[in-house]
Chains A and B, each alone.
Chain A
Amino acid sequence: QQQVKQSPQSLIVQKGGISIINCAYENTAFDYFPWYQQFPGKGPALLIAIRPDVSEKKEGRFTISFNKSAKQFSLHIMDSQPGDSATYFCAARRGNTGNQFYFGTGTSLTVIP
């Protein structure tokens, strides 16, 4: 059973556009929600993260929007660049079992010049 559901599976955006990736979860024990970026042949790299007591967090061109009541969160990439082309994973941590993270299935983003 997939604990964190991610959509879309793939996304194509024009340079300068906004990329939006969505995730949903059911387990209310999740207490920390990071987003990771992964390039081919590399491990995931932390982009930005949010805790459920905050509705939005922005770091540069990356913004997380968090809706606790709907159990949904999303990543917005503003002014998307070809260098942003990668696979993005949302994740959720179940805090009461240590530092165990559950990952979404990933979104392959392609930014067209």
Chain B
Amino acid sequence: ETGVTQSPTHLIKTRGQQVTLRCSSQSGHNTVSWYQQALGQGPQFIFQYYREEENGRGNFPPRFSGLQFPNYSSELNVNALELDDSALYLCASSSGGYGQPQHFGDGTRLSIL
């Protein structure tokens, strides 16, 4: 069984640029959630996709956007990057049912210069 994979593992960008992060969900999982984890903090919910539709959003501005594809893989796009966007971005997948656990990837470390 293949787990959640994220790419790239590390990325360096400058302020104002745009970035796309990718996530392949675990086999059989139709729900993908994205989280931002600042250094020394817990993950903060960005949004969730279920069967290609956004299914909940946290307190993040519209420049954070996403997509989910028919194979349930997902992208996180961030426009107009700011210094505070520097963080570990985590993707988690689940089967979407009640109380089903989320399985996390190892994240993409994004650094903004």
Give A residues with C-beta under 8 Å from B: 4, 6, 31-32, 34, 36, 41-46, 49, 51, 89, 91, 93, 95, 97-106
Contacts and interface: CB of A to CB of B under 8 A. Distances in A.
Given A105-B41, A106-B40, A44 B104 contact: yes
A49 B4 CA distance: 20
B56 A46 contact: no
Contacts of A34: 101-102
Given A44-B90, A102-B45, 4 more contacts: A31-B99, A34-B102, A51-B99, A103-B43
Contacts of B16: none
A103 B101 contact: no
Given A99-B33, A99-B48, A99-B96, A44 B101 contact: no
A100 B4 contact: no
A103 B40 CA distance: 12
Interface of B: 4, 31, 33, 35, 40-45, 48, 50, 55-56, 58, 90, 92, 94, 96, 98-107
Contacts, number: 67
B102 A46 contact: yes
A103 B90 CA distance: 13
Contacts of A46: 101-103
Contact of A104 (B42, B55, B58, B104): B42
Contacts of A89: 42-43
